[in-house]
Amino acid sequence: MRERSKLENAFENITSIETQLLDAIEYAQLAEMEGEDSLLDEAFSALTALSEIAQKAELEALLSGEADSNDCFVEIHPGAGGTEAQDWAEMLLRMYTRWAQAHNMKVDVLEVEAGDGAGIKSATIKIKGENAYGWLKTESGVHRLVRISPFDSNAKRHTSFSSVWIFPEIDDTIEIDIDESDCRVDTYRASGAGGQHVNKTDSAVRITHEPTGIVVQCQNDRSQHKNRSQAWDMLRARLYERELQIREDAAQAEADNKAEIGWGHQIRSYVLQPYQLVKDLRTGAETSDTRGVLDGKIDVFLSASLSAKITSQMAGE
């Protein structure tokens, strides 16, 4: 049913683009015949907007990876820098939440650990929607912020880093075998505001996969059983994403054009001072609308990075 719905939506989208294209062309021809420059400008504006819609549809059509259509997990961790970095991590959490909401996707907060005074020490959310993983999969990496710190009484410029990890939810069509003897399961008291279970019962669950060092945790439900189940799902997703990464790294090793995801290897810079600019360091895509980007308007970067990734894959084939 999900595959059928996806195909129906794609077909309706293509039909809509074709209809709007024909209407815009006829409108432009009529405006030209009547000598109405204002109407002609409207027709060209409509064609420009339609072109952007068509480009997005083209990218969506190319999201054919094994897990591209799946929901995804977004994991955010601040770098060194205390409150400043933790505040930046919370800004990123808001950015991805707002992006998902703007695209009619649902956001479930699985785990948030509050920072010391401001911001967050870590967060994991689940984004549910069509092609959620496909759109966001290139967002994994280190994000760099430059601004006048609101926490510095001397109003000095600070640079902060936070890492973002995107991994897909694994459905029943993908098998991931986990040896439970390789995992350490810990329970602890949930933290955060509100809820009778907070700080009263060991409802939160943390699972450590010792062979890889991957750690997942969940505390969004008052039931330890439900949190445990969600944590196992997250671990399966992380292991699957790790396997995809290993395959991709091996395929692109000869070209050596893929930056390591780690501290000091930023994928995007967000400069708020002394000028306004957000720039993707992989594709060169940039915008001066920093406020819009931090409010979730990141499609320009998603489209550019996906186009580059797909082009690279096609060239390799």
CATH code of residue 210:
3.30.160.20
Last residue of a domain, one of 197, 230, 249: 249
- Residues 127 and 240 reside in one and the same domain: no
Please report the pLDDT score of residue 224 as a whole number.
87
What is the extent of the structural domain holding 57? 2-61
Please report the pLDDT score of residue 196 as a whole number.
45
- Residues 268 and 139 reside in one and the same domain: yes
Label each residue of 236-251 as H, E or C: HHHHHHHHHHHHHHHH
Last residue of a domain, one of 202, 227, 249: 249
pLDDT at 174 over 70: no
**What confidence tier does 313 reach under pLDDT thresholds 50, 70, 90?**
low
Cβ atoms of 131 and 60 within 8 Å: the answer is yes
d(CA 195, CA 222): 8
- Residues 140 and 270 reside in one and the same domain: yes
**What confidence tier does 237 reach under pLDDT thresholds 50, 70, 90?**
confident
- Residues 7 and 52 reside in one and the same domain: yes
Question: Looking at residues 113-135, what average pLDDT do you find?
Answer: 91
Looking at the domain assignment, is residue 66 inside a domain?
A: no
Question: Looking at residues 160-186, what average pLDDT do you find?
Answer: 84
- Residues 166 and 18 reside in one and the same domain: no
- Residues 184 and 162 reside in one and the same domain: no
- Residues 17 and 119 reside in one and the same domain: no
**What confidence tier does 192 reach under pLDDT thresholds 50, 70, 90?**
low
Please report the pLDDT score of residue 277 as a whole number.
96
Highest mean pLDDT range out of 32-41, 45-54, 135-144?
135-144
- Residues 13 and 160 reside in one and the same domain: no
Residue pLDDT, tens place only, 135-161: 999 999 999 999 988 887 777 888 999
Looking at the domain assignment, is residue 11 inside a domain?
A: yes
Q: What CATH number did the domain enclosing 290 receive?
A: 3.30.70.1660
Q: Got the DSSP string for 154-210? A: T--EEEEEEEEEEEEPP-TTS-----GGGEEEEEE---SSS-TTTTTS--EEEEEET
Looking at the domain assignment, is residue 67 inside a domain?
A: no
Looking at the domain assignment, is residue 49 inside a domain?
A: yes
Kindly state the percentage of the chain with pLDDT values over 70: 86
pLDDT at 59 over 50: yes
Please report the pLDDT score of residue 248 as a whole number.
65
- 124-128, 182-186, 228-232, 259-263: range with lowest mean pLDDT: 259-263
- Residues 15 and 130 reside in one and the same domain: no
**What confidence tier does 39 reach under pLDDT thresholds 50, 70, 90?**
confident
Question: Does the N-terminal peptide bond of residue 78 adopt cis geometry, omega within 30 degrees of 0?
Answer: no
The residue among 164 and 222 whose pLDDT is bigger is 164
Count the domains in the chain. Answer: 3
The structure's pTM equals 0.69
Looking at the domain assignment, is residue 217 inside a domain?
A: yes
Question: Looking at residues 206-234, what average pLDDT do you find?
Answer: 89
Looking at the domain assignment, is residue 135 inside a domain?
A: yes
- Residues 143 and 91 reside in one and the same domain: yes
Looking at the domain assignment, is residue 294 inside a domain?
A: yes
Looking at the domain assignment, is residue 147 inside a domain?
A: yes
pLDDT at 130 over 50: yes
- 31-40, 162-171, 178-187, 268-277: range with lowest mean pLDDT: 31-40
- Residues 144 and 284 reside in one and the same domain: yes
Last residue of a domain, one of 38, 61, 84: 61
- Residues 265 and 165 reside in one and the same domain: yes
